[in-house]
Amino acid sequence: MHIFVLLSEFFQDIKKQKMRAFLTTFAITWGTLAVILLMSFGSGLNFRMRESLLNAGDRIITVYGSQTRMEYQGLPVGRRIRFAERDIPLLKQNIPEIGWISAQAGRSVQLRNEQKSATTHMEGVYPQFKVLRRMYPQPGGRFINDIDLTQKRRVVFLGSVIAEELFGTEGPIGKRLDIDGVPFKVIGILPGKLQTSMNNGPDDRRAIIPLSTFMSLYGWRYINSIIVKPYKDNYSDQVKQQIYQVLGKKHRFDPKDERAIAVWDMAEGIKIQDRVFLGIKIFLGVLGSMTLIVAGVGVANIMYVVVKERTREFGIKRAIGAKKRHIMLQIIFESLLIAAIGGAGGILLSYSIIKLIWMVPAGDGAMQFLGRPLMSSEVMLLSVSVLGVIGLMAGFFPAKKAAQVNPVEALRYE
């Protein structure tokens, strides 16, 4: 029954301060809306940027040949280090932490389908390239496989944009396509994907063929790079160190010579981006919380007015045996209830706005990143936590004043 008494007294107080209570509750609602929307847009932007970075390479380590900068076993400085296919099994056998690995060789090529033609970057790779670079095909098609690689098949996997340029709305899978005058069969199409990091153009315009076919077609002896992905993300540093050891022994350069080979770790880029967006989210959270703090001042103001108007009542309660904590509980309860009502309104309004935004197509350009806010659990936790602290603090000081009322003096109060 005690909770019903508290609620009854709360609504009696609100009736006496209707306009002030409405404006304060509205301020809490608006502040909650500001916090959630700002944090949600920040979380959505972070997620989209992270995914677009991973679409260029899913936590991969790319190794390129370079030139030595240190003497080693009597060999001079400036030797060029170049990789071949035989380096792939060597790395796989000596570094068990490697989960996926692929050689990569590429060049610019001319693609032609009857009267339509296009120039793009083509790469010869292994089947595991699909996982490394998120090259998952559209339904009805496939990526290159081990049989394609073994038999040096003339099959090609196309990005969605280049496929549309060459075939239009016609389904390209199974159709013939000439690459530098050599006929190939289209086996799969890459769906359009958001991508912020790239080399030699976006994957949407890329052509992929088996590495064995590429090397045979152009007579290459060396590959451009090696791509690896550890079984676990925390193996990256260990794998990089072992790459220097294994390749240093094979190609005869000092493992401490970081210029002999170039190693690019996608995981490092993701860590840097996460740190940047953590700062952005903190800034947005503080910015939105300032609105809630201002609203909290309004709650405290109402509570001080309530304490002043009910001074005689509190004095009577104290005179007949009510303890200080009972008086404080009543005021803090009312303060938290105002914060809860306003906060609930802000949460529902934020949820509705975010749902409406998701119903609108993201489009191109900046809206691909800004048009997809995420109302995550951490956003909700922060909002509820801030609301709770503001409601508690806004009620604590008026409650403390009410609890310190002298019963004798309060009975004289008019």
Q: pLDDT, tens digit, for every residue of 331-341?
A: 787 778 878 88
Q: Are strands 116-125 and 207-210 parallel, antiparallel or unpaired?
A: parallel
Q: Is beta strand 98-113 parallel, antiparallel or unpaired with respect to 155-159?
A: unpaired
Among 34-38, 113-117, 173-177, top mean pLDDT goes to: 173-177
Q: What digits encode the pLDDT tens for the residues 290-303?
A: 777 777 777 777 77
* Helical segments of 55-159, H only: 87-94, 129-132, 146-150
pLDDT of residue 1: 39
pLDDT band, very low/low/confident/very high, at 2 (cuts 50, 70, 90): low
Amino acid in the structure at residue 315: G
pLDDT tier at 318, thresholds 50, 70, 90: low
Mean pLDDT lowest among 28-42, 130-144, 241-255, 350-364? 350-364
Question: pLDDT of 258-268, one tens digit each?
Answer: 889 999 888 88
Q: Which of 60-69, 125-134, 311-320 has the lowest mean pLDDT?
A: 311-320
Mean pLDDT, the chain, whole residue set: 83
Reported as a single tens digit per residue, the pLDDT across 48-59 is 777 777 777 778
For range 168-189, the mean pLDDT? 92
SS3 content of the chain, % helix, strand, coil (to 5): 55, 15, 25
Q: Is the per-residue pLDDT at 395 higher than 70?
A: yes
227 with 320, same domain: the answer is no
Same domain, 204 and 314: no
Range of the domain at 144: 61-267
Single out the residue in 267, 301, 323 at which a domain terminates. Answer: 267
Residues 165 and 245 in one domain: yes
- Res 363: pLDDT: 57
Q: Which of 393, 414, 402 is nearest to 304 (CA)?
A: 402
Percent of residues, the chain, with pLDDT higher than 70: 86
| Cα separation values, 351 from 347, 354, 360, Å | 6, 5, 15
Q: Which residue, 218, 246, 267, sits at the end of a domain?
A: 267
Q: Bigger pLDDT: 152 or 290?
A: 152
360 and 399 inside one domain: yes
Per-residue pLDDT averaged across 226-246, rounded?
90
397/16: higher pLDDT: 397
18 in Cβ contact with 303 (< 8 Å): no
pTM of the shown model: 0.72
| Rounded mean pLDDT, 36-42 | 83
302 shares a domain with 329: yes
Residues 119 and 248 grouped into a single domain: yes
User: What pLDDT digit, counting tens, does each position of 81-131 carry?
Assistant: 999 999 999 999 999 999 999 999 999 999 998 888 999 999 999 999 999
Domain shared by 187 and 89, yes or no: yes
Q: What is the mean pLDDT of residues 365-381?
A: 70
Of 248, 267, 286, the last residue of a domain is 267
| Cα 351 to Cα 356: distance, rounded to the nearest angstrom | 9
Does one domain contain both 87 and 112? yes
The number of domains in the chain is 2
Report the pLDDT value the prediction gives residue 114, as an integer from 0 to 100. Answer: 82
Residue pLDDT, tens place only, 196-218 = 776 777 888 999 999 999 999 99
Nearest C-alpha neighbor of 338 from the set 2, 121, 4, 26: 26
Please spell the DSSP secondary structure of 287-322, one letter per residue: HHHHHHHHHHHHHHHHHHHHHHHTHHHHHHHHHTT-
- Do residues 149 and 256 share a domain? yes
Residue 6 has pLDDT above 60, yes or no: no
DSSP-derived 3-state class of residue 405: coil
Query: Do 223 and 277 fall into the same domain?
Result: no
Across residues 343-371, what is the average pLDDT? 76
Mean pLDDT of 6-25: 66
Q: Based on the fold, state whether residues 81 and 17 are members of the same structural domain.
A: no
- Residue 365: pLDDT over 60: no
Same domain for 122 and 151, yes or no, is: yes
Burial classification of residue 368, based on how many CB atoms lie within 10 Å of its CB (0-12 exposed, 13-18 middle, 19 or more buried): middle
- pLDDT category at 319 given cuts 50, 70, 90 is low
